[in-house]
């Protein structure tokens, strides 16, 4: 099988947690790819000439030969099927139920915890930005994140399912939005996020 030409489109600041997830998936698969950017602040993602414009006008966008795909979860699932184990590294658990749980965690992190995502954007992680203290809604989101993550991980666990999967990257990044900002994070979750 010949290796396809792969391009991953990112935001120019490299702040997107969704681009990070796609980038890690490509890295873990051991795939060669080119990283290209769109300046979201300048509205480059809204220009009709860009290949991602017809999809969702957002990053990430993955191009493989003549196929374009957006949305990080769809990209990870596509890469797992197109470059399937055992020939390529696994990014989702082998077990059906664990794989479903990993996808559940990814969907939850992308669809919930909005106050936390708004009050601790990833420029906190990638650029050391400092933000105001969490609002009551932000504190409630953080508490929900901690309770759910602790239930999923148990005590002293380094990975969600006994070995790394892409959902570990996504969960660790959400925890690090708080930990790297200096917010209080349970020690076990901070250790988990650091390990990732």
| Separation of alpha carbons 14 and 17, rounded Å | 8
Q: Cα 110 to chain center, whole Å?
A: 9
| Separation of alpha carbons 156 and 150, rounded Å | 10
pLDDT, residue 155, reads 76
Tokens of 83: 């470059």
Tens-binned pLDDT, residue by residue, of the chain (196 aa): 567 899 999 999 999 999 999 999 999 999 999 999 988 888 887 888 777 777 888 889 999 988 999 999 999 999 999 999 999 999 999 999 999 999 999 999 999 999 999 999 999 999 999 999 999 999 999 999 999 999 999 877 899 999 999 999 999 999 999 999 999 999 999 999 999 9
| Separation of alpha carbons 25 and 71, rounded Å | 13
pLDDT, residue 184, reads 97
Gyration radius of the chain over CA positions: 17
| Separation of alpha carbons 35 and 23, rounded Å | 9
Q: Which residue has the tokens 């209080």?
A: 184
Q: Which domains does the chain have, with CATH numbers?
A: 6-82 (3.40.30.10), 96-195 (1.20.1050.10)
pTM over 0.85: yes
pLDDT, residue 188, reads 94
| Separation of alpha carbons 135 and 116, rounded Å | 9
Three-class DSSP category at 15:
coil
Give per-residue burial for 134-169: e unless 16+ CB within 10 Å, then b. Answer: beeebbebbeebbebbeebbeeeeebbbeebbbbbb
Residue 7 per-residue DSSP state: E
């Amino acid at each position: 099988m010949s290796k396809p030409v792969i391009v991953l489109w990112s935001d120019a600041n490299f702040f997107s947690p969704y681009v990070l997830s796609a980038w890690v998936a490509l890295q873990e698969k051991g795939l060669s790819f080119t990283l290209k950017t769109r300046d979201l602040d300048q509205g480059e993602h809204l220009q009709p000439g860009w290949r991602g414009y017809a999809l969702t006008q957002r990053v990430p966008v993955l191009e493989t030969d003549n196929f374009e795909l957006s949305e990080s979860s769809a990209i990870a699932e596509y890469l797992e099927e197109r470059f399937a184990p055992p020939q390529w590294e696994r990014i989702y658990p082998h077990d059906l139920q664990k794989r479903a749980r990993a996808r559940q965690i990814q969907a939850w992190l992308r669809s919930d915890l909005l106050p936390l995502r708004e009050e601790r954007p990833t420029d906190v992680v990638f650029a050391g930005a400092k933000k105001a203290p969490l609002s009551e809604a932000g504190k409630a989101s953080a508490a929900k994140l901690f309770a759910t993550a602790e239930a999923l991980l148990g005590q002293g666990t380094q990975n969600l399912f006994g070995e790394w999967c892409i959902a570990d990257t996504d969960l660790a990044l959400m925890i690090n939005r708080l930990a790297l900002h200096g917010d209080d994070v349970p020690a076990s979750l901070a250790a988990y996020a650091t390990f990732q």
